[in-house]
Amino acid sequence: MNSMTITILGSGSKGNAFVIQHESSIIMIDAGFILNDILFRMKSANIAISSIQALLISHGHSDHINGLSDLNRYASIPVYMTESLFLSSTGATSASPPAWLDLDKDRVIFFKEWNNISIGSIAVTPIPVSHDSISPVGFIMKAGNKKLSLVTDTGEISRAGKDAMKDSNVIMLESNHDNEMLWKSPRHFLLKKRISSTTGHLNNEKSAEILSEIISPNTSDVVLLHLSQECNTPELAVKSVMDRNRSVKDGAIKLHVARQNEITRIHVKSTAANEKE
């Protein structure tokens, strides 16, 4: 059996958490909801907290780590993050800002960009992204003949990052905002500028353009992540992708939109290209 299941517990500006399962290996990426919310969502998805073998952190913004400290104490799940994020977020160095995470270093495993991490049958490669946080990363995951790319919270993706994401069965990519909605919104000018910058968030058009560069014959599913509830709609995000990607518009590739308060589950099937590998 060579199956991969992706469960999105929720994705948006109010919280993000993802569970990836391949055979008996199960990992979680980000813990952006409070503990009780995480437990409720996992129970609703029929995932036992005790089954999670590792928790990987993409970056230190609250909508990705809100429940991290409490979850770590509750379940003692090994936490994987960059050393620089740990040092800054726990106040472990005198030069760091006030601590906002309460983590025991003995429960943390440090990773470096581009270095592979093996967790059961899942091989994870953290790739650098462009966001206004400390050492932010996306994740490329391989298990059996399946490949999954998960990149959210970035204003752009480098050529190396795009190359790493190619040939993925599943591409999970941020499509945060509609540019016109953002600039017409009542948000402060500086916030608008931050969001639309190269260290902010991908808008619908940028996301669609990146997908057009990295979608391949292996791709079976595309998932749009981290949609703004104020400055985007699922319909606008979907239209941008379909306008730029005929294989998605024609239905050859399934397009999913992750929601803030809904669980999304995707069972990854092998494509003909995969079976030949």
CA dihedral 219, 24, 174, 198 (to 10 degrees): -110
Please indicate, yes or no, whether the overall pTM of this predicted structure exceeds 0.85. yes
Residue-wise pLDDT for 186-231, tens only, equals 999 999 999 999 999 999 999 999 999 999 999 999 999 999 999 9
Secondary structure class of 245 (helix, strand, coil): coil
170: closest CA among 5, 29, 25? 5
Q: How far apart are CA 260 and CA 221, in angstroms?
A: 19
| Cβ-proximal residues to 230 (8 Å cutoff; 6+ apart), any chain | 181, 185, 187
The residue count for the chain: 277
| Kind plus residue range of the DSSP H or E element containing 47 | none
- Beta-carbon neighbour count of residue 206 at 10 Å? 23
Q: For the chain, which residues score pLDDT lower than 70?
A: 1, 91-99, 269-277
For the 4-272 domain, the top CATH level (class) is alpha beta
The per-residue pLDDT for 96 is: 55
Q: How far apart are CA 64 and CA 146, in angstroms?
A: 25
For residue 150, give both structure tokens: 């998960």
The per-residue pLDDT for 92 is: 64
**Strand 221-225 vs strand 146-151: parallel, antiparallel, or unpaired?**
unpaired
Domain boundaries, the chain: 4-272
Residue-wise pLDDT for 140-151, tens only, equals 999 999 999 999
Secondary structure class of 25 (helix, strand, coil): strand
